[in-house]
Amino acid sequence: MAYKIYLSPSNQSGNKYASGNTNEMAQCDKIAKAAQTALTRCGFSVKVGKSGDTMANRCNESDAFNADIHMPIHTNAFDAKTTGGTLVMLYKNTTEHNKAGKALLDAVGKISPGSDYVLRYRTDLYELSVPSAMSLYLEVEFHDTKTGADWIRNNTDAIGEAIAKGMCNYFGVVYKAPTTENETPSSVSTYSIKMLRIYKGASTNTVGQVLTLQRILNELKEGNGYRGKDGEKLKLDGDFGENTEYALKAYQKVHSLTQDGVCDREDWSKLLCEYLK
Ligand SMILES: [Zn+2]
């Protein structure tokens, strides 16, 4: 029997994004849709709450569905200055809750640009306490900074894949990556999510996207990282300069990728595959 996941994207259309003239509800609907696609591909049974619906209806639906996991999907806000990373909130501090929460946090938190991703316990949140299923309350990055908002808007598909990857890791299900034009489904064995193609001087270099790359390069090789031209760990500045390019090329060399300093789909795929396991 397939595991059942109920996705409950935020209905907070009043929470405006710092860029893109959009809001929390619109983006969380997109993330939920992408997560549904990815989870379904991986063999889960998925139900997504109707856009803008109430928390009460969502919880009733989740219970009627007999969900194994109830997952509210939100994006965060604080002081319009902090791109603070991803947060997963849990109702209880039990081994099982922590295992599930950590799996989700590892997958989504590690690709989000803010590095301070954490697990937290709350008993006062309706969608944590009411659903019968274990609830994993996801706050994907902060939308009240331009860095955070740009990153979320550009990566709703990638976030959906990361959610699926996290649930696969928790339930011990094999993650199936989306296919691209050149692949047949059976040949797909990598973590292959679409993220922006970035390189030194590219117009697609959003601060958040570059931060994600810099953080991954720094943390590979058991935390030793791929170093910059200066021999140091990369400065987490979101600027794709010569040190970031140098580190990426070193990574490409080790992994027999084209050493062009361009982080494209193939590079992201390898990086994420190694980083997220
Ligand atoms: Zn929210």
pLDDT value at 273 more than 90:
no
Residue 134: CATH number of its domain: 3.40.630.40
Q: Residue 88 belongs to what domain range? A: 4-171
- Kindly report the average pLDDT of the chain as a whole number: 93
Is residue 178 situated within a structural domain?
A: no
Q: Give the model's pLDDT for residue 183.
A: 53
* pLDDT confidence band for 276 (50 / 70 / 90): confident
For 81-85, 159-163, 171-175, 181-185, which range has the lowest pLDDT when averaged over its residues?
A: 181-185
Mean pLDDT (whole number) for 128-157: 97
Distance 39 CA to ligand 1 centre (A): 22
SS (H, E, C) the chain: CCCEEEEEECCCCCCECCCCCCEHHHHHHHHHHHHHHHHHHCCCEEEECCCCCCHHHHHHHHHHHCCCEEEEEEEECCCCCCCCCCEEEECCCCHHHHHHHHHHHHHHHCCCCCCCCEEEECCCCHHHHCCCCEECEEEEEECCCHHHHHHHHHCHHHHHHHHHHHHHHHHCCCCCCCCCCCCCHHHCCCCCCCCCCECCCCCCCCHHHHHHHHHHHHHCCCCCCCCCCCCCCCCCCCCCCHHHHHHHHHHHHHCCCCCCCCECHHHHHHHHHHHHC
Dihedral, CA of residue 181, residue 186, residue 192 and residue 193, to nearest 10: 70
For residue 57, is it within any domain?
A: yes
**What is the pTM assigned to this prediction?**
0.94
One domain for residues 160 and 250: no
29 and 137: one domain?
Answer: yes
With respect to residue 184, please indicate whether it lies within any of the assigned structural domains: no
Residue 190 pLDDT class (50, 70, 90 cuts): low
| All residues with CB under 5 Å from ion ligand 1 | 10, 12, 74
148-170 pLDDT, tens per residue?
Answer: 999 999 999 999 999 999 999 99
Q: How far is the CA of 10 from the centre of ligand 1 (A)?
A: 6
Residue 71 Cα, ligand 1 centroid: separation in angstroms? 12
Separation of 23 CA from ligand 1 center, angstroms? 10
Distance from the alpha carbon of residue 8 to the mean position of ligand 1, in angstroms: 11
Q: How confident is the model at residue 187 (pLDDT cuts 50, 70, 90)?
A: very low
Same domain for 205 and 165: no
Q: Which of 136, 171, 206 is a domain's end point?
A: 171
What's the domain count of the chain?
Answer: 2
- 137 CA to centre of ligand 1 in angstroms: 10
In this predicted structure, the answer to whether residue 186 has a pLDDT above a threshold of 80 is: no
Cα of 51 vs centre of ligand 1, distance in Å, is: 14
Q: What is the mean pLDDT of residues 101-123?
A: 94
Residues 141 and 18 in one domain: yes
Please name every residue paired with 45 in a beta bridge, in sequence order, or none if there are none.
4
